[in-house]
Every structure is written in C-alpha cells, then in structure tokens.
Amino acid sequence: MTLSPDCSILIFGGGGTIGSSTALHLARKGYRNIRVLDVYPIPSAQSAGNDLNKIMGTSLRNPVDKQLSHEANDMWSNDPTFSPYFHRTGRLDCCGSPEGIEDLRLTVEKLNDAGLGHTVEWLDNEHEIVKRVPQLSLSEMPGWKGIFFADGGWLAAAKAIDSVGRELGQHGVKFSFGESGAFERPILSEDGSTCLGAVARDGTQYRADRVVLASGAWSPTLVDLEEQCCSKAWVYAHMQLTPEEVEEYKGCPVVYNEDLGFFFEPNEYGVIKVCDEFPGFTRYKMHQPFGAPSPKPVSVPRSHAKHPTDTYPDASEVTIRKAIAAFLPRFKDKKLFNRSLCWCTDTADANLLITEHPRWKNFVLATGDSGHSFKLLPVIGKHVVELLEGTLQEDMRQAWRWRPDSGDARKSTRAARAKDLSELPGWNHDSEK
C-alpha cells in the first residue's frame, strides 16, 4: 500500500533525535495521523540527544554523509525550528600524538578534495593554537597541531528536540508517553509477514499502517537486530564556573582531541561539559529481544533517567580529569557533578540502519546512530519519510540497508573493542539490575 496523508504511523522513540525528526518531516508533509511514542516526553530524558550540547561539524566520510551534513547545516542555519540552537563558536580539532596529527592531515586532505579547504585554518603548533583559542594553555600542548573550523560549533541538543516537540504539537501530532509509549512488540499478521501495529508495555494495542522503531540504543533490546547494532555508553561530567570565569570562556570554540576528549563553552548557567574519548562501554546481558528464537548476549543500556544516582566508572574519572588537565588546567581541582552515561548504538561500518525489517513488512527501523548523528536532527527524518514513501535515493538505501554480515558492531570503526561495564567498578549506585 502506498502511503497517503491519512495513513496511521507510529513512531517509537519519537522523543529522541531520529524519531522526533521523522515525526516532524511527516507532519510538515501533511500527514495527519501520526503518533509519537516514548518512555519519556519530548525531549526524552533517556535519549542521547537529551543533553546540554553536541558537536556541530561536517562529515566527509562518504558521499552520503557529505550530503547529509550539507542538508543539516542548511537547516541548522536557516530553519527557525532549529537555528536558535546552533551556536557558531567555531571548532578546534587538535592533537599531539603522531597518529592524531596524521588524522588531522587526512582531514585537511579530504576538505581540500571536497573544495572546502578554504573553510578551515591549519594551526601548525601550540602557539598558533593558543592564538586562535586563547583559553587553552600553551604548556599543556607541546607539539600539538590543529584545524580550526570557523563554521563549526555546538548544538543546544535537548532544547532543539524540545523545539521539534513544540512544532509537533502545533501540527496536531498525537503523543503517548510512559508505559503506554514504551514498545513491547509488533502486532503481526497471522502468517507473521506483515506488521499491523504495536503493543505497548502497558498492554495498549495500536493498529497502524506503518510502525517506525527509532529507539536509539534501546532498539537492539526491543527487536532482534541480529548483532547489527551494539549499544555503548559514553560519559560526561559537568563543572560550574564563577561569573568571572564565564566571562573568559564565553564564546570559546568546541575543542576536540581524538586521544583525550572535548569540552564546550559554558552554558547560560556557567556549566561546562567535559567528555573523554574512548571506544564506549557495553553492558552485555542475556536478553531475548522480540524476534530472537532464544535469549542471547545483548548490550542493554541502563537509563540514567530511571537511575539518576548512577554515575560513571572510576576509570572514566581518571580520563575525564586527564582531559581537564590538558584543556582546562586551571580548573583541574574543580568539583565535577552530573557524571553520567549517555547511550548510543554502533553499527559495524558506522552507517545508520534505516530500512524496512526484512521479515515484517511495514515495520521500519531508524537507528544505528553510531555516536555521530545528533547533528542530523533537522534532516534525518526527511530521509526516513522517503524510505516510507519508497523514494529514498539509492546510495542511502544501500548504506542503511539490513546487513547482518557487515562486520563487528562491538568494534565498529573505533580504535578498539568496547570494554564491558561489568568489568568497571564505580558507576552503579543502586542494587536494581
């Protein structure tokens, strides 16, 4: 059946990045029977996008990423639902290790090949870096090199999803939050070949023409994705600046170092977020997602929204402190708070998984963010809608196809396989498993 504006469409994970964007593009195209479902209201408190800030930048990894970056950049700049949330502070990528410097050079090469070389500035030593970003400290960056992206910056992530939620309300989109918005299983036709709707955790049955599962890191726990997605946690902590310190750091570019991590300028309350960089943490359990014949090891996220006293592993305190010592040495003794895990889901090749389920017609997956998708908030839903309408361009269809044999999602394209939280003490602050 082709899609018409009256078709009913359920979007699970609709309070997060890919789900809310899908609802937005459907609503903007005139679809009138859309229901957004999530465990928490928009912006869902357990979405990776429910965050102070995310990095804004261009990905040139392949033609699809390049096109998406270009489209997203246009909407972050010009669409009133998004533009207030793009903070163009610029972004500095910098590094001191030989491998990191090599990666910076490759980035410049790619930019040159794409005709974008003129948009960045190569910084050949720590003096040039500090001239660009005076908040950094010369003595902590011996031999570092950098690239300055004047067009980059950061996105006020939760606020941007909230803005999408407000627009969805104006379009008359229906919402189900809480247990009645939590995905339990699809309703399948008698022969099991077609999805006719979904059942929520509280037993509510929703009949629908299409079901979209955009549940981010929770997706592989809900339906069997045959190891295509491996959910992993990354970590962050906050620190509080005084008003005088805020004055000095206001407008500071996002500073990213692939060995150490990154930080953002203070928000309106003087809070700086700091992250380390590492291959993520899994949380393997025996678990049986819908469609799997029996329980199997699945990395199951643990929601910070549901477990607000959880922090992060002791090992993360060491690496976050290390990032602070390099980027913000004067704050190395500042108290940290809001230490948290933030869950994303990696595919083996770091491409999204946006495709109809091969066994259940009309059941569509929109997941596999691979830790780099928040910047696509304004635009990714447009392409999910194209998939629903059967007009998705061929290179996207190929990149985002169902591909269980495409490699090891636990390793993905990262420096190493993710460690498991079971080996890492310090993060779990209550007894509930």
Interface residues with ligand FSA (CB under 6 A)? 55, 57, 234, 275, 277, 344, 371-372
Min CB(201)–ligand FSA separation in Å: 28
Sheet with 86-87, strands from edge to edge, namely: 54-56, 153-155, 86-87
Distance in angstroms (rounded) separating the CA atoms of residues 264 and 259: 17
Min CB(133)–ligand FSA separation in Å: 17
| Residue of closest CB approach to ligand FSA | 371
Tell me how many helices (H) and strands (E) the chain has. Answer: 10, 24
Q: Where are the beta strands (DSSP E) in 314-430?
A: 337-346, 353-356, 363-367, 419-420
Nearer to ligand FSA, 32 or 411 (CB): 411
**Which helix (DSSP H) or strand (DSSP E) does residue 324 occupy?**
helix 314-327
Nearer to ligand FSA, 9 or 315 (CB): 315
**Which helix (DSSP H) or strand (DSSP E) does residue 388 occupy?**
helix 377-389
Nearer to ligand FSA, 182 or 352 (CB): 352
DSSP 213: E
Min CB(65)–ligand FSA separation in Å: 10
Min CB(256)–ligand FSA separation in Å: 7
Distance in angstroms (rounded) separating the CA atoms of residues 315 and 311: 11
Min CB(374)–ligand FSA separation in Å: 8
Min CB(265)–ligand FSA separation in Å: 16
Distance in angstroms (rounded) separating the CA atoms of residues 196 and 184: 14
Nearer to ligand FSA, 57 or 216 (CB): 57
Nearer to ligand FSA, 229 or 275 (CB): 275
Query: Which residues share a beta bridge with 188?
Result: 195
Nearer to ligand FSA, 200 or 275 (CB): 275
Residue 96 has phi, psi (to 5 degrees) of: -115, -20
Where do runs of H (alpha helix) occur along 32-122? Answer: 63-78, 98-113
